[in-house]
Structures are given as C-alpha cells and as structure tokens.
Chains A and B, each alone.
Chain A
Amino acid sequence: MTQTITASPSTQAPPGLTFDAVAMRFPDGTQAVEEASFSVAPGEFVSIVGPSGCGKSTLLKITAGLIDATGGHVGIGPGNLGYVFQDATLLPWRTVRGNVELLGELEGMPKAQRRKAAQEAIDLVGLGGFESKYPKSLSGGMKMRASLARALTLQPSTFLFDEPFGALDEITRERLNDELLALFEREGFAGLFITHSIAEAVFLSTRVLVMSARPGRIVGDFEVPFAYPRKPELRFEPAFAELSGRVSECLRGAFA
C-alpha cells in the first residue's frame, strides 16, 4: 500500500519516524517546540511525557502533516500512518461499523475489502456485537476502542497516539493499556505515544522521552528495559517504580 501522509515528501526515509531538529514557532511568536531530534524505528514504542501545553501534541500534528513545522524535518518511512486523537472523534451519525469503515472509504478502499478490514479491526479491539450501535450509546472506553479500530483498518506501519486515554477513568485506562500492548506486540508498528501519565508511558514503551515546559525541548531519554509481553503486575514491581521515579524526577526538573 502506498504512503498516505507525508510531513515532507522524501522517498528514501528510513522505516518509522525520524525527527531532525524539528521546531515550531506559532505566528504569535510562541515557541512551541525547540529543536526536537529523535527517531522511532518499527517495533519501537516511544512515549513523550511532559507538562500540559509543552508542545507534545504539536509534534504529532506536525508529523501527521496537519500543521507545518517552522524548522527541521520529519521523515516518515513507507506504509500507512495511523493517528489516534485525544477524543474518539467518532461521527455520531454513523454506527460503530460505519465509523470504522470511514478511513477505508476516504482512502478509496473497495467496499468488500473495507468491510472485511473493519470487521477484523472491530473483533480485534473486542467490540464484536456492538457493530450497529451508535456512539451515543457507547461508554468512553468503548468509543476509544472504536477509534482505535478505525485507525487499525489501514494497517498502519507507524502509529501516532495523542493522549488517547487521558479522559478515561483509571480502571478503563489500564485495561486499554494492556490491550494496546498486545496490539503492539502483534503488529510491530512504530509507535509514538503522547501522555502526561508517567506510569502509562513506562508501562507501554520501549523508550520514554521527557519534554520540558514551553518551549518544548527533549530533556530526558529513558530506555525501558522490561521485556515483552509485559504483565499488568509489572506496574507494581520495584524496578518499575524505580524507573518511574527517575522519569518523574526528570519531569520535575523540566518545570524549573
């Protein structure tokens, strides 16, 4: 399948994401992101944690081509780009199935193919049986699952997550984290995940980046050594607490 989104067209970009001195200054002079350089390879799951308004989401929007960076370059490898928004952004007039089929529809996927892709994605996120429900009758967690299923229909090789579980309660969030991990292990995409939950970042990621308050700079870079598959109990192990503590300390430094 051809590449659907290019932040800056480059045919020879390595797989995954490459950020090269990406900077963003808004027209009003606010420096949102300053010189961000890092890369995300396939099979890597990188989380960015940072205080609210530090430009984390801006970085994702630049990657997806929704806004243009004022400096630097984002290289996007071959394959589709998946984007999961802060809100589920389901169309309320479409059923779960209709919503999950939307991207295939927009991308011109033949009807039979997108129906099949939608059903597989719906089953994968555990929404089987809810295909003909409208979003208004779904819980927050189920809406997010539908949103995830929608992105999965294009079988993205690179996946961007913009604080997708921020609005959910703790129990639902942890459950969705477990499921997202399972998905990541199966699909092996390159994941870039924005959050302000340290525990979520450490639990999911192969690597955690810490971003400072505005102007957003990457001030910390932590390898997460825990092997996959990760069990939910990992959250309560001393090594997990120790690493979370170090990320937290770095984050507190980022405010200063």
Chain B
Amino acid sequence: MPSTPAVPASDVDVAAPTAMGGAGGRIALRERGTSFAALVIPPLLVFLVVIGAWILVSQVILAESKRFLLPPPWAVVNVAFLDGHNRAELFTSLWLTTKAAMVGLFLSIVIGMGTAIAMSQAKWVERSLYPYAVVLQTIPVLALVPLVGFTLGYNFSSRVFVVVLIALFPVITNTLFGLLSVDQGHHDLFSLHKGGRITRLVKLQLPAAMPAIFTGLRIAAGASVIGAVVGDFFFQQGTPGIGTLMNTYASELESERLYAAVILSSSLGIAVFLAVTWLERRVVGRWHTATRGTR
C-alpha cells in the first residue's frame, strides 16, 4: 500500500482542528486551568471552620467540668504530639496498624483480582465462589474477629486476616464487574482476529476493567485501614496498634490522646486513599474520563 494519501492530509473532518476543544478537551482545559489556589483554598476554609467550631464547642459551650469530652486542639497537640513519650507511643502503634493494613490490602488485591479473573474465565467458578464472596461481605466481621483471635492467635497475621476479610469483597466485585462489562463490539473485534483467551484477557478485559478495578481499590484502601483498626480493638494482647490505644485511652478518659489517635488513623486512611487516586491517575488518567469530570 503506497503511502500517498487517497485524500489530502489536510482534508480531515470539519471537526478536526477543534477536536481538542471537544467535550474531553474542554474538561482537560478546565483541569489544567484550575490553579493551585482554587484547589487548596476551599478545603482549607472548611478545615478552618471545623477547627473554629471545635474551639467554640470546647471553650464556650462545654462547661469546665465537661471539657474532657472535647479538649481544645492545642491541648491535643500539646499532650499527644509535643510530649515525646506519648508521641512515640502513638507513632509506634500507628506504624504497626499501617503495616497490617498495607499487607492486608496487598493480599486482598492479589487474592481478589485473582479470584475475579478466574470467575470471569469460567462461569462455574463464578457460580461456585460468588455466594461466599457475598457471605464474606454480609456477615458482621466484628463477630468473626474474636473467632479469628481464638483460631489464629493474636499475632500480626491474624490482624492481616481481619483486613483481608473486610477489603477483599470490593476488589472481587469491582474487578469482576469491569472484566465482564467489556463492549460486545470489542469482543467481536477480537473474535474476528483470532484473539485467544489469554490475549483477550491481557489486551482487552484487564485494560477495560482498570477504571472499575481502581474504584474497588479505593474502597478497599479505606476498608483496609478500618479493618486494621478493628483488629487492634479486639486483639488487646501483643504489641498495641493504634486501635488498641484508642480503646485504652477511652477507658482511661485520656481524651487528648484519644483524639490524636483518631486523627492519626483517619490521616492514614486519607493517605492510602490519595495514594490509590494518584496511582489511578497515572494508570488510566490519560485515556479515561471519570464521569464526575463531565458535569
């Protein structure tokens, strides 16, 4: 095939020169046009309002005798973060919880994606396993956690096990949904050109499922932190996690440190969430427009 155009190269669609200004393009422009200030100022304002309300409740509304219920922010900072001993205790246990959450999340991703891929390849696998995946999600994990303690002991691996119990389901369902919702036209295209099972999985289903997989990962990421904290709550023996500390501080009415522990564990959740979002942007951002972007 000679490469001289059958039509002049300039003879592209009327829409061609403005293609970048199409629906996708406008959004990209708006994203690029969003300044750093516009990204940072609104949440910062909300943050200030929340801190203000906190101070208001703590200093004005609560009576002196009830102030332990909500100590002011500076008291939390002073007691929990500026005191070396307390800070070390908090961060050591936060690190343990982080490790449990991360190892559990990693295992959930590997097991969950593996299970979903197997389900997508054979209907009988899906039929056999899916009910149990649902069971996994519907039985109260809180009820299972003490059982996990009895059977697996109170070590690190049983904390990881609790994380997997909580984080596995969203990975399985979202991956499976993504793998199965490939466009029929794309399947036909691969059928026409001898696309085998593996080719189809690697070149079609997995890439097509990526946005759904990341939705699952974002849910699982948040759940993994919750799972690790829940595990801590129940496994009081052994090295304390951040959840263990919450329990202890609550029973000792150490409200400054309790608030600090809550703030730290939710910061962990936010950090994990942001990491997944960053990864998502790296992997599918170039080609996938999230629906919320098309308002």
Residue of A nearest to B210 (CB): A93
Q: Are A183 and B16 in contact (CB under 8 A)?
A: no
- The answer to the question of B204 belonging to the interface, with a C-beta cut-off of 8 Å to chain A, is yes
- The answer to the question of A106 belonging to the interface, with a C-beta cut-off of 8 Å to chain B, is yes
Query: Which residues from B are CB-within-8-Å of A102?
Result: 189, 203
- The answer to the question of B284 belonging to the interface, with a C-beta cut-off of 8 Å to chain A, is yes
Contact with B along A94-120 (1 / 0, CB 8 A): 100000001101110000000001011
- Find residues 159-186 in chain A having any chain B CB closer than 8 Å to their own CB: 171-172, 175, 178-179, 182-183, 186
Query: Which residues from A are CB-within-8-Å of B38?
Result: none
Query: Which residues from A are CB-within-8-Å of B188?
Result: 61, 66, 85, 89
Q: Are A4 and B193 in contact (CB under 8 A)?
A: yes
Task: Name which of A4, A126, A140, A179 has the most chain B CB atoms within 10 A of its CB.
Answer: A126
Subset of 12 A-B contacts with CB under 8 Å: A5-B192, A89-B189, A91-B208, A92-B287, A93-B284, A120-B2, A123-B9, A124-B6, A135-B287, A137-B22, A137-B24, A142-B15
Task: Name which of A61, A91, A93, A133 has the most chain B CB atoms within 10 A of its CB.
Answer: A93
Q: Are A92 and B12 in contact (CB under 8 A)?
A: no
Q: Which of B2, B13, B189, B208 makes the CB contact (< 8 A) with A142?
A: B13
Known pairs A4-B193, A136-B288 / 17 extra A-B pairs, C-beta < 8 Å: A61-B188, A81-B192, A89-B183, A89-B189, A93-B284, A106-B190, A106-B193, A106-B194, A120-B1, A121-B1, A124-B3, A127-B12, A136-B287, A139-B13, A171-B14, A175-B13, A179-B6
B217 → A minimal CB distance (Å): 17
Q: Are B5 and A126 in contact (CB under 8 A)?
A: yes
Interface size, chain A (Cβ < 8 Å):
54
Q: Which of B5, B24, B191, B195 makes the CB contact (< 8 A) with A123?
A: B5
- The answer to the question of A248 belonging to the interface, with a C-beta cut-off of 8 Å to chain B, is no
Bound Cα distance from A136 to B188, whole angstroms? 21
Bound Cα distance from A64 to B192, whole angstroms? 7
Task: Name which of B2, B15, B190, B203 has the most chain A CB atoms within 10 A of its CB.
Answer: B15
- The answer to the question of B11 belonging to the interface, with a C-beta cut-off of 8 Å to chain A, is yes
- The answer to the question of A155 belonging to the interface, with a C-beta cut-off of 8 Å to chain B, is yes
Q: Are B8 and A93 in contact (CB under 8 A)?
A: no
Bound Cα distance from A166 to B6, whole angstroms? 22
B residues whose Cβ falls under 8 Å from a Cβ of A: 1-16, 19-20, 22, 24-25, 28, 183, 185-186, 188-195, 199, 203-204, 207-208, 210, 284, 286-289
Bound Cα distance from A91 to B204, whole angstroms? 8
Query: Which residues from A are CB-within-8-Å of B1?
Result: 117, 120-121, 124, 152, 155, 187
Bound Cα distance from A178 to B183, whole angstroms? 30
Query: Which residues from A are CB-within-8-Å of B7?
Result: 125-126, 178-179, 182
Bound Cα distance from A179 to B8, whole angstroms? 10
A9 → B minimal CB distance (Å): 14
Bound Cα distance from A105 to B7, whole angstroms? 27
Q: Are B19 and A138 in contact (CB under 8 A)?
A: yes
Chain B interface main SS type = loop
Bound Cα distance from A89 to B186, whole angstroms? 6
Q: Are A183 and B6 in contact (CB under 8 A)?
A: yes
Residue of B nearest to A83 (CB): B192
Bound Cα distance from A179 to B286, whole angstroms? 30
* 7 residue pairs, one from A and one from B, having the closest CB atoms: A139-B15, A141-B13, A106-B193, A89-B185, A182-B6, A136-B24, A120-B3
Bound Cα distance from A170 to B13, whole angstroms? 12
- The answer to the question of A19 belonging to the interface, with a C-beta cut-off of 8 Å to chain B, is no
Query: Which residues from B are CB-within-8-Å of A142?
Result: 12-13, 15-16, 19
Query: Which residues from B are CB-within-8-Å of A225?
Result: none
Residue of A nearest to B28 (CB): A137
B176 → A minimal CB distance (Å): 19
Residue of B nearest to A88 (CB): B185
Q: Are A172 and B190 in contact (CB under 8 A)?
A: no
Q: Are B207 and A93 in contact (CB under 8 A)?
A: yes
Query: Which residues from B are CB-within-8-Å of A171?
Result: 14
Query: Which residues from A are CB-within-8-Å of B20?
Result: 137
A68 → B minimal CB distance (Å): 12
- The answer to the question of A72 belonging to the interface, with a C-beta cut-off of 8 Å to chain B, is no
